[in-house]
Chain A
Amino acid sequence: MPSSEHLSRQYDSELEDIRSRVMQMGGLVESQILTAIECLGSGNVELMDQVTDNDRRVNSYEVEIDEACAHVIARRQPAASDLRLIMAVSKIVTDLERTGDEAEKIARMARQIHDRGRLQTPRSADVSQAGLLAVALLRRVLDALARLDAAEAERIIAEDVTIDDAFRGIVRQLVTYMMEDPRTISTALDIVWIAKAIERIGDHTKNVAEQVIYIVRGTDVRHTVREGHAEPDGAE
C-alpha cells in the first residue's frame, strides 16, 4: 500500500530528524565546553559572553527535541527499537543540557578568576587538560551515538574514571596550595568548582554512553558494577 509506505517513510524521517537535532545539540555543547576552557586560559570576556548566549540555544534545543519526542510518541505509538531511541533521546538531551550548564559555569568562574586580577591561578593548566579530556570523551560518545556503536560506548564508560582521577588529583594539589598561602584560597575555590564541573561533564557523558548501549542492545546498564572497577563516586 503506497499510503502506508508514505506514512512510514515520513515516520522514519521524523526519527532521523530527532536524532540529527540531538547531534547538533551535542556539537554545540562540545564547542561550548571548549570555548569555556579557552576563556579560563585567555580571560577573553567576549568569549565568556558568547558561552552565556549560546547556553540559551542549548536550552531551546532541549525543549524542541523533547517536544518532538512527545509528538512522535503520541502520533506514531513507536514500538521496540524506535521506542527505545525516543526514550533514550529524551534522557540524553537532559544530560546534554546539564553539560551545557556546566560549560556556562566554567565560563562564569573563569570570569570571576580573571576579574580578580589573575594574580595566581594555581593548577589552571591541569584543569584545562582535564577539560580537554572531558570534551574528547563527549565527542567520542556523540560519535558512538551517531554510529550506534555500543562497544565504543562501553569503552567510554570505563574511561570516565580517568576524569574522576584527574579531579581528585587537582583537589589534592589545591589543598596544599591553600595551606601554603591563604591568599590563594578564593581563586583556588573557584578552580575547585571548575574541576567539579568538568568531573560532572564526565558523569553526564557516561550517562549518554549508557543510553547508547540501551538503544543498541535494549539492556539497561545503569547502576551496574562493571567487572574490574566499582562505580566511581559522584556518578548517578
Chain B
Amino acid sequence: MPPVWAALLIRLTGATLAGLTFGAIFGAVAGLAVAAGALLLMLLAHTVQLARLQRWLKAPAERDIPDAWGAWGNVFVDLYRVLRHEQKARARIEADLEVFSQAAEASPDGLVFLDADDHIAWCNRVAEQHLGLRGERDMGLLVTNLIRLPGFADFLASAQEGETLTYRPQDRKGKVYAIEAIRFGRDRKLLISADVSQVERAETMRRDFVANVSHELRTPLTVISGYVEHMVEDAAPDPAEWKQQMAMVNEQAGRMLRLVDDLLTLSRLEDEAQAPREEEFDVRDLIYEISAEGRRLSGGRHSITCEVVPAFLKGSREELHSAFSNLVSNAVRYTPAGGRIVLHWALRDGKGVFSVEDSGIGIPEEHIPRLTERFYRVDRGRSRESGGTGLGLSIVKHILLRHQASLEIGSVPGSGSTFSAVFPAWRIRPLGEGRS
C-alpha cells in the first residue's frame, strides 16, 4: 500500500478510536464531536500544506521547497529530487548546446539556420559579415527580405544539392561569396556562405597572366613572321636589305628568348620550396661586378658609381646577383643619357640595405604599389622599346622574399627613383668601419 494511503488509514483509525473512546465515556454526541474535530484538524493540516505547495509553485526555486512531516514531507522530498534531476539534465543540455553553438561560431564559413518558412532562426558571426545580417536583431526575419539578390528567392525555394549562388555585395568591393542552401530535418534549411574572393582573384590573375604572356610573345613573333614572309616572297633579294631584316629578326628573337628565360626563372623561384643556398659572401665584390655590367649596358651614357661599406651577406649569391643586376639594368633603362646612377651598400640599424639610386624619369606614386606585378607597366610603349620583359621586378621581389628581405621603392617623378633591398640583421656580418 502506498505510504500516503497507509498514513491516511492510521489517522482515520486514530480519529475513529478517539471518537469511540470518548463516545463510550461521555456519550455519543461527545464522541462524534471529537471524531469530527479530529477530521477537521486533519483537513486543516492538509490545506495548510497545500497552500504552501501552491505558493511555492508560483515561484519555484530549489531552496524554497517547503518542509513538512509525514506524507507531505515525502511529497516535498520527491519534488526536490525531481527538480534536482531536471536541473542537472538542463545543465547538461545547455552545455551541449553551448558546445554546438561554439562549434558553429568557429566555422570559417557563414552558417544561417532557417525555419520552415525561411525565417532566420540563428546565424553565426561569419554569416553576419558575409551576408550583412545583424545577429540578434535579424532573428525571425524572412531571409529573402534581407538578401534581395534577384534569383536568391528561387534558389532558396529549390535548394538543390550542390548548387551554389554567387553573391557579390556591392558595398564591399572585391568580395565574392558562394552561397549554398541545404535542407535538413523536416523542411528546415541551412545556408552556408563561403568567402571565395581569393579564389576568384587568383582565377582572374591567372587569366590575366596567360593573356599577358601570349600578348608579349605574339608581338615579337608578328614582327619576325612579317620579315620572314617578306624574305620568302622576295623575288630579287638584295643582300644588304636581307642583312638588315635578319638583324631585326635576330633582335626580336632575342627579346622572346629573354622573356621565356624570365618566365622560367620566375616559375623556378615560385616552385622551389627550398630555401636559397646559404653562403656568406662579400657584397662589395658582387656590387663591383654588377656595376661593371651596368656600365657595359649603359655604353658610357651614364655615370655609375658605388658607395659600399664592408659587410658580408648570407644568402644565395647567384640569385642576389640576378636581383641586383635587374635593379641596375632598370636604372640604366629609365635614366636618360647623362644621368647618374649610384649603387649603395649600407647598414641601417643593423640591417643591410642595397639600393640603386638614379636620376631618371621617376614613377608616379599611384603606380608604385603595383610595380612588382607581372607585366605591370607604367608606360607600355616606353618600357618595351627599352627592352624590358615586364618581369624584372617580379623576379626581384621573389628573390628578396626568399631572403626574408623587403623591397622599398621611393620615387619623385622627373627627378629619379631609389629601389632598396632591405635585408634582416641576421643575414649581415659587418667587418669594422671604413669606406671604399
Contact = CB atoms under 8 A, between A and B. Distances in A.
A220 B145 CA distance: 24
Interface string A135-153: 1100100110011000000
A136 B153 contact: no
Contacts of A27: 148-150, 152
Interface stretch (B136-144, B177-185, B209-217, B349-357): B136-144
A26 B153 CA distance: 13
A interface, size bucket: 10 to 19
Interface string A110-125: 0000000000000000
A19 to B, nearest CB: 7
B233 interface: no
B170 A26 contact: no
B150 A31 contact: yes
Given A135-B170, A139-B170, A139-B171, A24 B138 contact: no
B149 A19 contact: no
A212 to B, nearest CB: 13
A88 interface: no
A156 interface: no
Contacts of B145: 19-20, 23, 146
A142 B147 CA distance: 10
Main SS at interface, chain A: helix
Nearest to A135: B170
Given A31-B149, A31-B150, A147-B138, A24 B144 contact: yes
B134 interface: yes
A40 to B, nearest CB: 15
Residue among A27, A30, A143 with max Cβ neighbours from chain B (10 Å): A27
B170 A136 contact: yes
Interface in B82-108: none
Contacts of B149: 27, 31
A159 to B, nearest CB: 14
B interface, size bucket: 10 to 19
Given A146-B145, A147-B137, A28 B170 contact: no
A34 interface: yes
Given A27-B150, A147-B137, A16 B171 contact: no
Interface in A8-41: 16, 19-20, 23-24, 26-28, 30-31, 34
A132 interface: yes
Contacts of A26: 148
B368 interface: no
Nearest to B152: A27
A146 B170 contact: no
15 contacts: A20-B142, A20-B144, A20-B145, A23-B144, A23-B145, A24-B144, A24-B148, A24-B153, A27-B150, A132-B170, A136-B171, A146-B145, A147-B134, A147-B141, A147-B146
Interface of A: 16, 19-20, 23-24, 26-28, 30-31, 34, 132, 135-136, 139, 142-143, 146-147
Given A24-B148, A146-B146, A147-B137, 10 more contacts: A16-B142, A20-B145, A23-B145, A24-B144, A27-B148, A27-B149, A27-B152, A34-B170, A143-B132, A146-B141
9 nearest interchain CB pairs?
A27-B148, A146-B145, A23-B145, A28-B150, A31-B150, A20-B142, A146-B146, A23-B148, A27-B150
Interface of B: 132, 134, 137-138, 141-142, 144-146, 148-150, 152-153, 170-171
